[in-house]
Amino acid sequence: MTSRLVRFFLALLLALLTAAAATFGAAWLWRAIGGAPMSVHGWIALGLGIFGSVALAGGLMWLAFKSSREGWDDRVDNSLDPGRERGED
């Protein structure tokens, strides 16, 4: 159980570091192309936007894998779908 928790926090730390690197990379690119300087509020908004996108993508992927492992996709009744004949899988 402890090793599982440690792996989770290491993965979370890796995701946060990746988001921070992406934030600084985007800001560097913005300045390299001659964009306006960003205020502190701009940095915060950019960081929250990137973190939110990564968190949403990770959460949706987690749900997809969980659904696949637990067989939720197999329990769907498709018999009422238009164009589907009764008895087909």
Provide the percentage of residues in the chain whose pLDDT is more than 90.
Answer: 48
State the average pLDDT for the chain: 86
Q: Does position 6 have pLDDT exceeding 70, yes or no?
A: yes
What is the per-residue pLDDT across 13-45, written as a single tens digit (0 to 9) for each?
999 999 999 989 988 888 888 877 889 999 899
Residue 78 has a pLDDT of: 72
What is the per-residue pLDDT across 46-56, written as a single tens digit (0 to 9) for each?
899 999 999 99
Q: What is the 3-class SS of the chain, one letter each residue?
A: CHHHHHHHHHHHHHHHHHHHHHHHHHHHHHHHCCCCCCCHHHHHHHHHHHHHHHHHHHHHHHHHHHHHHHCHHHHCCCCCCCCCCCCCC
